[in-house]
Structure 1
């Protein structure tokens, strides 16, 4: 009918210098960010990963260490234990780099209608997100070209 019961999560990896989308992963909505960092990175070998506190776990920190990637995952406060002053400063520094990802999601939602999936299977939704990511990258390239012309 008219009700939605299922959903999908899009994970995107952007370049921290120019904001182009480098990798896309789509999973069912019930998939946890904490357990899917490696899949979200895909084949990329970044120098550093900036991620929100949804990815905070000792397993993810160990994964980054094992792969030789610098950790930029925001700290998450535990129940009845707030963040230390240094952890808050670290989170602010990470946030100053994460805006490119948030900007990409905002543009994908506003300009390319990525608020609802058009299709129903994981494979089709991933193809839709990849197509919209390509359109985003083309728009970004045009905008950058205009600034340098």
Structure 2
């Protein structure tokens, strides 16, 4: 489908935006949460004891809660504990979806940028936009190795505030990066895409891909009309 949209110049790969959104599943453990994972903590940052507790918790889920989707995972975001999956998107600079990756909710964006980029056939020397959750020396090196230009937001370090130059750069990046938020917002309004309709990661990935196709088709007429108006002017 995207190849056809690209052929007709509806999708134009002059830049790419990466981001992720949580999908909640109703098939979660009942009662007290057994184990929670803080957002923005990768597997490497969790202690061996925490990782062992996580594994034990999900063994208990399988044994004690047969109705639970055992492939989903816990995450804590904005003080709220959620159970489900995470959809990672690569979009163009208009917000049309180029690639989709589905993971358990506890997979951190900073750790899987390479997998996300692999879902989209990106040309070299374009800008890749992302929020500060993707900011790391490893990811900067990854983009450089792929001949992609980093437009990932700067984030303040402990005891070190952002410089005025970094703040300005973040504001300029934000003028393009926000379009992926519009994509997630539109999919949620039109398809209730933050709710998991199926059990298991493979079926959930199919849901995410079908919603991405539907979103691109829904948006395409508006993009075509906008280009015709600009041409007429």
Same fold by TM-score, threshold 0.5 exceeded?
A: yes
Pairing partner for 1:73 from 143, 152, 168: 152
Aligned residue in 1 for 2:13: none
How far did 1:146 drift?
Answer: 4.3
The unaligned stretches of length 5 or more in structure 2 are: 1-25, 30-72, 74-83
Alignment-derived partner of residue 63 in structure 1: 142
Q: C-alpha distance in 2, partners of 1:66/1:146?
A: 37
Query: Once the two structures are superposed, what CA deviation does each residue of 1:102-140 show, in whole Å capped at 9, x if it has no partner?
Result: 110100111111111111211111100000000000100
Please show how residues 81-100 of structure 1 align to structure 2 within 5 Å.
Answer: 81-100=160-179
Distance change (3 Å), C-alpha of 1:74 and 1:141: same
Deviations 1:14-60 (A, max 9, x none): 111x3211111111111110011111112422411100000010000
Shift of 1:144: 2.5
Rg comparison, structure with higher value: 2
The offset of 1:3, in angstroms, is: 6.2
What's the RMSD between the two structures over aligned residues?
A: 1.6
Matched residues, number: 147
Give me the TM-score of the superposition, normalised by structure 1. 0.91
Task: Give the counterpart of 1:109 among 183, 188, 213.
Answer: 188
TM-score, with length taken from structure 2? 0.60
Aligned equivalents of 1:146 and 1:65: distance in 2?
36
Question: Which residue pairs with 2:28 in the alignment?
Answer: 4
The equivalent residue for 1:21 is 97
